[in-house]
Amino acid sequence: MRHGTTAMLCGLLYAVWCGTAWGGTLACNGAQHIRLLHPVEIGPEELAEFRAMAPLRMLAVDAPPMSRYDKKQGSYTGVAVDTWCFITNKLGLRYEIDSARDQTVASKIEQVQQGRADVFMPLSLLPQRAKLGIFTEPYYQSFYAVITRKDRQLSVDSIDDLKSYQVGVVKGVALDARLQSLLPPNRLQRFDQANSDGLFKAVQDGTLDAAVFSQSIFEEKRYTREYFDLEAIHTLLDDPREYRFYFSPTAQNQRIVQAFDRYLAAIDVSLSVTKHEKGERDLIELYVKQRSQHQLWQFVGIGSTALVLIFGMAFLYYRRLARLLNERNRQIQEQAKALESANAQLKHLSLSDGLTGLANRRAFDQELLREHARSSRMGTPLSVLMADLDRFKAVNDYYGHATGDAYLCAVAKALKETASRATDLTARYGGEEFACLLPATGASDALALAERIRQAVEQLALPNTRAETGHLTISIGLATLQAGSGTAQSLLEQADAQLYAAKHGGGNRVHATELAG
């Protein structure tokens, strides 16, 4: 009995230690934003093996929106964290986190490669890394961008155009090796990862013409470091950066990676991406608000000081002070303009899809509520079209994600040109799913428009060798509310149900229904 009590206490102490050892935690509440597209089969013997394993020793890095470290909470959040928590919970795996804020990324990767840690997140695949560790399939994709000073007006349409300029890059990133092979040594300056701010300052002072850097991370740095004179002039869509989990090369971890890959092939992380990209924008908006308040207090402080000095100094000092105040006021006006521009960009970011340029799901849902209210007041019909690309996973698997992104952009353009009325709204609803909001559009007109969209996508003739037709096609679900008495949610659900029917009917077709008023 005494032995059993001792074992229980040891188990409890070990469980507490596993959650707090090494000084970090994961905020796993975001795992609810991960969903499965189809079930994943894990056998009972595998589950028993995973649950019996010792806690995995985990290393992470602050790289939003994949993972963001909160110093106050001592925890990580992000797309990678949501994905990790979802899968490890399904598999029954335990883990312990090392926050290790004083270590470099290279040092953390080396610990995994040498077996002193089990896993690192997030990390992009490089051949030399793959030789010394095990990568899972990707769960998030971003792109590099060419960043310049706004007044430079460089002409860059592809990475090859950088040959004419002085360029900077961070050592060891995915494009480092390619830039070294593309540019002569006297045209490429490579910066340590800990000195990425030095890279941007070199662009600001004209030492470099351009920097190649992760676009999503730059957008955050642009506000937190006040790089308002810099901009991303070109996104390198041909060189996507895919983020994965990186495991040490052991037989146990090989089995874990195989189980992870089964889940990664079946999950949809679009809601998590939306959540954490929005979280990043919220951080920027908070910063802008605090900065505006700081400028206000600075202005008040300068004004108060001016009044005291005006009454206490001679005329010559007054003239000198007036010049100083004029300069400070000019600086404040310039900062106010920059903040106004930042707010406008934030509003655009929050309502648009970064890849296709269409409205995003958030913008679509907001506009649907407004148009439904208008339809109810005016008694006009309202139609919603939901569309999904057929067998699109095969495109990414066979041709690669860069081709998949190009296909999405081409389809988005076709939808935008077909649903072209000023009142129509076309959105990328998530992944390869699109939506069209058609105000004052009856069932017959909406059905005709849906068929034109189906034909427009088919006429693009985008190759898809895994499809029966040999090219990319689209399935469409359509729902029309005749008098506006139904809810906006029911209209959306009916369109989604028709899309489901179109997909299961073989794809490349339109299914439609009407909701009685």
Length of the chain in residues, anyone? 517
Cα separation, 231 vs 210, in Å, equals 10
Cα separation, 287 vs 341, in Å, equals 14
| Residue 25 one-letter amino acid | T
Tokens 């600075």 sit on residue: 298
**Contact criterion met (CB below 8 Å) for 403 and 395:** yes
Q: Rounded to the nearest 10 degrees, what angle do helices 44-52 and 251-264 cross at? A: 120
Phi, psi of 239 (to 5 degrees): -125, 65
Tokens for 481, please give them.
């509310």
Check if 432 is active-site. yes
Cα separation, 160 vs 174, in Å, equals 16
| Residue 142 one-letter amino acid | S
- Which three-class secondary structure string do you get for 170-188? ECCCCCHHHHHHHCCHHHE
The SS3 assignment for 134 reads: strand
Tokens 């148009």 sit on residue: 371
Cα separation, 337 vs 292, in Å, equals 11
How crowded is residue 319: how many other Cβ atoms within 10 Å of its Cβ? 11
Burial of 203 (0-12, 13-18, 19+ CB in 10 A): buried
How crowded is residue 181: how many other Cβ atoms within 10 Å of its Cβ? 8
Burial of 156 (0-12, 13-18, 19+ CB in 10 A): middle
Cα separation, 215 vs 398, in Å, equals 26
Query: Which of 96, 219, 242, 432 is the catalytic position?
Result: 432
On the question of a cis peptide bond just before residue 138, with omega within 30 degrees of 0, the verdict is no
Helix (H) or strand (E) run with residue 492 in it: helix 488-504
Q: Which residues are CB-contacts of 17 (< 8 A; sequence separation ≥ 6)? A: 96
Tokens for 466, please give them.
């895994």
Cα separation, 211 vs 188, in Å, equals 10
Helix (H) or strand (E) run with residue 460 in it: helix 443-460
Cα separation, 64 vs 44, in Å, equals 36
Phi, psi of 411 (to 5 degrees): -65, -40
Burial of 324 (0-12, 13-18, 19+ CB in 10 A): middle
For the annotated catalytic residues, the residue numbers are: 432
